[in-house]
Copies of this chain bind each other. A is one copy, B any other.
Amino acid sequence: MTAHAEQIATTFGALLLRTNRAHLYDRLTAGVDGVDGTTYPVLSGLARTGPATASRLAELIGLDRTVTTRYATRLQKAGLVARAADADDARATRLSLTPEGRRAVQAMRAALGAIVADALSTSEPEEVEVFARVLQRLLDALAPGA
């Protein structure tokens, strides 16, 4: 058990190396116009949470308010995100996905799903099921906020 924890820790460490993460992001956003590794979290966060203010979205994805709003502007220029006045609070601006933005998210999700599915194609379905469950627990323990 401890031996497994050590091995898992090592594998995890390798997986978290900047180069691997960057490479994966590149693969995900390669075919999608207007999104890159930096704006990806903003777009996918918006998809997860639905229409939200920049402040709330920033909290969700763990980025600063100022960065979030700037990336949102980039995505808006690319036609993937829309801004609208908040009816309840004149200070606030609601960010939302455009239909094109939704399509982009869909495409990236499918790409990631395909990569994972391919990577797990040699594993038994029962193993995959266990893996999914334990991975979720690991995330909960490692990133309590998310």
CB under 8 Å from chain B, chain A span 103-137: 109, 112-120, 122-123, 125, 127-137
Number of copies: 2
**A8-16, A68-76, A81-89, A93-101: which lies at the B interface?**
A8-16
Known contacts A18-B41, A62-B17: does B131 contact A5 (CB below 8 Å)? no
> In the bound complex, do residue B134 and residue A123 qualify as a contact, i.e. CB atoms below 8 Å apart?
yes
Is residue A56 within 8 Å, beta carbon to beta carbon, of the partner chain? no
Q: Which residues of B contact A114 (CB under 8 A)?
A: 5
Q: CA of A6 to CA of B24 in the docked complex: distance in angstroms?
A: 16
> In the bound complex, do residue A132 and residue B62 qualify as a contact, i.e. CB atoms below 8 Å apart?
no
Chain A facing B: main interface SS? helix
> In the bound complex, do residue A120 and residue B132 qualify as a contact, i.e. CB atoms below 8 Å apart?
no
Is residue A90 within 8 Å, beta carbon to beta carbon, of the partner chain? no
Interface residues of A (CB under 8 A from B): 1-2, 4-21, 23-25, 41, 44, 61-63, 109, 112-120, 122-123, 125, 127-143, 146
Residue of B whose beta carbon sits closest to that of A143: B20
> In the bound complex, do residue A131 and residue B128 qualify as a contact, i.e. CB atoms below 8 Å apart?
no
Distance in Å: Cβ of A16 to nearest Cβ of chain B: 5
Leading 6 A-B pairs by shortest Cβ distance:
A19-B62, A119-B141, A5-B117, A9-B112, A131-B134, A20-B143
Q: Which residues of B contact A1 (CB under 8 A)?
A: 117, 125, 128
> In the bound complex, do residue B119 and residue A137 qualify as a contact, i.e. CB atoms below 8 Å apart?
yes
Q: Which residues of B contact A133 (CB under 8 A)?
A: 127
